Each structure stands twice: as structure tokens, then as C-alpha cells.
Structure 1
Amino acid sequence: MERKIVFFDLDGTILNEDKVIPESTKIAIRLLQKQGIYTVISTGRTPHMFDWILSELNIDSYVCINGQYVIFEGEEIYSNPLDKEMLHDITNLATSKGHAVAYCNHQYVKASEGNHSFITTSFNNLRMDYPSVDPLFYKKAPVYQGHLYCDIQDEQSYIERYPDYNFVQWDEYAYDILPKGCSKAIGIQKILELTGIKIENSYAFGDGLNDLEMLTTVGTGIAMGNAIPEVKAIADVVTTSCSEDGIFKGLMNLGLLEDPIQKEIS
């Protein structure tokens, strides 16, 4: 039997709107693992922001920070730090405009400003505490992704100033900063290359803008019922929402689950 692998986004996919893992999703992932199917997290978050999920779902492989840092079966296989001069420049620019920046690596998220309302709003929506403040963090450690916190009308000025970078919105005032060409898809390709798993045996579930490349890279891309229209438009399959057993139902429809949910519960 050929090996198969399934990649899962977190927010809006594994996690519902209350940032809780539905019981049906836990069962679905456990069933995949029993069949020897690889289960991998694929997220824009940093590892410390989802370590509890790894533990609860018994997963030790992940594509995180939107493909900038990749772990397979507990071992680092890829990382791609951002340019320090660019981070220095955008930090100064954001500060001058009353905006803020954050720096993400595999261990930390550090903010350039304390008590900034846009950061507060974004982290409250993640049900997470405000990150610690260190405006010089990018000089001391590798940074794999930046965050820009600004009004939507100000985004364009950053896009024009940094043409080699993408600004991907993930909350009302928050944007991931990534080098162009970098995405979850890069991390997925690294894992597929390492394992030798065929593209046609790879699957991914997602719902947001940072899932577009992922869903079109794997053999079968599945959009959650709560996904944005752009994701549904490019997906091979659209399942129900994360709060309506979307992952379990999607896997059943694809024929990746052998046992019905009633048997697992019993």
C-alpha cells in the first residue's frame, strides 16, 4: 500500500471559532494514524503557539510559520530566515507611522511595541496573551516571519516599499510578512521530497488566504465550509465547516477513513 499524507491548517480548520478541537476531528486524526497515514500540521503560527495541539493529537510533524520552518517526526528539515536589514527598515517605518511589527521564529513571537491596540486585537482573537516586547529581537536571533500591524488603507504603502515580500492578511489589522515565493507549499514540498510520497497521495485542509498555495500544491485540496470564497474556488473538494465535523466528513468522502465514527466511539 502506498504511503499517504494529510496536512491540516489550524485556525478555522482543526480549531473552530472558539479555538477548540471538535471531538470528531480528534477521532478522524486518530483513525488516520491507526492506518499509517501521516498527519501533519500546516500553519502560520509558531510552534509554541500550538504545542498543546501537537500533544493532544499525537502529531510530531509540522509546517509552521507559513512554510518557513519545517519539522518532520521531531527533526528540523528546513528553515528560511528573513533578511535582517529589511526587518530593521520596516521596524523603523512602522514605528514612524504609529504601526507595529512582530518577529516570529521557532521559539518566540516578539513585538516591537507594547500595548499596541492592533496587536491586542489580533492576539485576543487568537485567544492568546500579548507577546513580550523586544524591538531589537531581529538582531539577536533568526526571524522566519514578520507581522505587520496597520490599518488596511496603509497596507499598500508597505507593498510598494517592499516589492520582494508578500503581506498576507490574517486578522483585521494583522499581516504576515514573507519573502515572495515562500508559503506553506514550500514546506509541504520539503516533506514530500524527504518521504518520497507521491503528490497524488497528498491531501490538505484549509480555509484562509495563506492556504491557497498549499491546496493547489497537494494532490487533493479540501476547503472547509467556513473557508473564504477564494479558497473554495481553487479547492478540489469543499467539505462542511470546522464546527460541523468538516474534517471527518471530508476524509470520509475522500475514502481515507475506513471505519465509521460510530464504531470508533463504541
Structure 2
Amino acid sequence: MKKAAFFDVDGTIIDCTIGVMDMSDRVKKAIRDFQEKGNVAFVSSGRPYAFLNKELLNFGFDGFVLGNGAQVLINGDTRFFSGIDNNIVKEVVENCEKLNIDYCLQGEKYSYVKKEFKRILEYYKEYDISNDFLENNFELENINVFKIEMFPSDERGCEYCKSLDGEEFNCFKNYPGEVYEMYPKKNSKGIGLLKTIEFEDVKLENSYAFGDGRNDIEMIETAGHGIAMGNAVKELKEVADEYTDSISDDGVATYIEKNLL
């Protein structure tokens, strides 16, 4: 019976916080062996396409669930896209401009950030984010956005970002705590998983999700098998069905080798 596996990126298969930008050889082999049995493997990330490094893009995943479930990309084709209303994007951008907040508008293939936003560009550079899919010249009317990242310069800016967290949107500091991420609550990695297994004709009980962070909770709860990494946050471990080793001990490979091969 065909299975589908979904892998969060940061803290699950790579660890940018300590400069580990590629999967270990053991993890790569385990995922390839899983695929060779007729199964499918997907990255599931809060990142947009523009923030995926070459190692992930070139590995051979069957597709990507991006922007916390806002986009499902299968074999290079976008099969699902759920963006933010353009009027809301314009309003947030206007407020960011007034409050001296650097921002990045994230979309289907490209993400949009002005050249003068040095702080957020330097932040991205630290995490090995390429400029290949970053656009500097853009018109708000002509782009579709599913997530906005904001880098406030002072407490007033931080308070504005916090105010965006409410009934319609999530807005919180991402790990390790420099940039605020704003995205619609209607989007989640769980929704992205459901869309993907529908397209791939995989039963829910044959879906496996691996994660470590707060934005993995819906995915872990939705999957037939929700697996928390050993280094996962407490909130994720509380909702997980199963557990594996930490990323430093190749937790993804440990689980696949033991249970899926």
C-alpha cells in the first residue's frame, strides 16, 4: 500500500541554527529507500519556494508543501495555492513602511523584498537563503502572497507585529526569534498534507509526518502517524502519536529504518 511521508525542514532534516544545511547521508538513504518501495516523500515547511536551498531542491523529493500549507507543489507543478487577500497585504505593507519595519512578501516561486531592507536581508544571508528567487522590484497589485515576514526595528514595531496575531492570522516570532511570520489561520501544514494525499491517492492512515516545532502541530495531529523529533518543543510532543530520536541522532532515519522499510 502506497505511503506518503512529510518532513519539516528546520530542526527535522536540517539545522540552520548550527550551520547544518544538508541532510545527513543516513537520512538521505532512508528517504530514498522509502521512495524506492513505491512511496512518496515531501518536504513540509513554513518556508516559501525562494527559501529552499539547493540541497533540498535537488535531492529528489516528490514535492513540497510550502508556506505552512499555503502551496502544494508536486513534481514541479503547483496543485494548490491559498494566498492572503491583496487589500490586507497592502494595509500591512503601508503600516510596515510607517513603522520602519523591514518586510518580505512570500509567494509561489518568488519572494519580494526591497534592496534597502538591509537588516532582513542580512538575517536571511545568515541562514544561507539564496538571492536567486528574491525580487527587489515589484508592484503589490501584480503579486500573490501567502506569508509576510517582518523584522521590526524597535518595540513599537514589535507591538504592531504582535497585534496582527488574532482570529484570522497567526503572527509570531520564528525560531530563533528575530523575524515575525504572519500567515492565515486557514492555512496549515495539516491542510497541505490532506491536499497532497488527495492528489497522490494515499489513504490518511498511510501518511507519516515528522516535525519539531509549533507550526508542525496541525500536521502532526492530522497525519495518520504524527512523529515528534526528540528535539521537538513540548507542545508538539504532547499531540504526537509517536516519537523518534533528535535531529542530531538522525531521528528521521531511525524511524524510517525501523518502521517503514
TM-score, with length taken from structure 1: 0.85
- Give 1:219 deviation, angstroms: 0.9
Aligned residue in 1 for 2:40:
38
Residue 105 of structure 2 contacts residue 148 of structure 2 at CA under 8 Å; is this kept in 1?
Answer: yes
Identity %: 28
Residue 48 of structure 1 contacts residue 108 of structure 1 at CA under 8 Å; is this kept in 2?
Answer: yes
More deviation in 224-233 or 178-187? 224-233
Query: In structure 2, how many angstroms separate the alpha carbons of the residues matched to 1:189 and 1:54?
Result: 22
Query: In structure 1, how many angstroms separate the alpha carbons of the residues matched to 2:154 and 2:5?
Result: 34
Aligned residue in 2 for 1:14:
13
Q: Provide, for residues 182-224 of structure 1, a one-character-per-residue CA deviation record: whole Å limited to 9, x for no partner.
A: 1111111111222332211100111112111111110111112
Amino acid aligned to 1:160: S
Aligned residue in 2 for 1:88:
90
Q: Provide, for residues 20-71 of structure 1, a one-character-per-residue CA deviation record: whole Å limited to 9, x for no partner.
A: 2111111111110111111111111222332623454211311112111112
Query: In structure 2, how many angstroms separate the alpha carbons of the residues matched to 1:20 and 1:182?
Result: 27
Structure-2 change in CA distance of 1:162 and 1:88 (3 Å): farther
Matched residue SS, 2:231: coil
Matched residue SS, 1:10: coil
Query: In structure 1, how many angstroms separate the alpha carbons of the residues matched to 2:154 and 2:45?
Result: 23
- Give 1:157 deviation, angstroms: 3.6
Matched, 1:128 2:129: yes
Query: In structure 1, how many angstroms separate the alpha carbons of the residues matched to 2:170 and 2:192?
Result: 17
Query: In structure 1, how many angstroms separate the alpha carbons of the residues matched to 2:229 and 2:55?
Result: 19
Unaligned runs of 5+ in 1: 258-266
Matched, 1:190 2:195: yes
Residue 148 of structure 1 contacts residue 175 of structure 1 at CA under 8 Å; is this kept in 2?
Answer: yes
Q: Give the alignment partner of residue 160 of structure 1, picking from 154, 163, 180.
A: 163
Aligned residue in 1 for 2:102:
100
Matched residue SS, 1:227: coil
Q: Give the alignment partner of residue 231 of structure 1, picking from 213, 231, 236.
A: 236
Paired residues for 1:1-266 under 5 Å: 2-16=1-15, 17=18, 18-50=20-52, 52-112=54-114, 114-121=116-123, 123-129=124-130, 131-134=134-137, 136-150=138-152, 155-161=158-164, 163=166, 164-171=168-175, 172-253=177-258, 255-257=259-261
Aligned residue in 2 for 1:260:
none
Structure-2 change in CA distance of 1:140 and 1:73 (3 Å): same
- Give 1:235 deviation, angstroms: 1.5
Structure-2 change in CA distance of 1:71 and 1:132 (3 Å): closer
Structure-2 change in CA distance of 1:165 and 1:5 (3 Å): same
Matched residue SS, 1:203: strand
Structure-2 change in CA distance of 1:39 and 1:152 (3 Å): farther
Query: In structure 2, how many angstroms separate the alpha carbons of the residues matched to 1:74 and 1:108?
Result: 14
Query: In structure 2, how many angstroms separate the alpha carbons of the residues matched to 1:232 and 1:138?
Result: 39
Query: In structure 2, how many angstroms separate the alpha carbons of the residues matched to 1:256 and 1:195?
Result: 18
Q: Provide, for residues 220-266 of structure 1, a one-character-per-residue CA deviation record: whole Å limited to 9, x for no partner.
A: 1111222222222222222122221111112234x102xxxxxxxxx
Structure-2 change in CA distance of 1:184 and 1:161 (3 Å): closer
Structure-2 change in CA distance of 1:157 and 1:64 (3 Å): same
Matched residue SS, 2:33: helix
The count of corresponding residues between Structure 1 and Structure 2 is 253
Query: In structure 1, how many angstroms separate the alpha carbons of the residues matched to 2:191 and 2:36?
Result: 27
Structure-2 change in CA distance of 1:52 and 1:129 (3 Å): closer
Residue 14 of structure 2 contacts residue 22 of structure 2 at CA under 8 Å; is this kept in 1?
Answer: yes
Matched residue SS, 1:66: coil
Query: In structure 1, how many angstroms separate the alpha carbons of the residues matched to 2:187 and 2:150?
Result: 17
Query: In structure 2, how many angstroms separate the alpha carbons of the residues matched to 1:22 and 1:90?
Result: 39
Amino acid aligned to 1:179: P
- Give 1:119 deviation, angstroms: 4.7
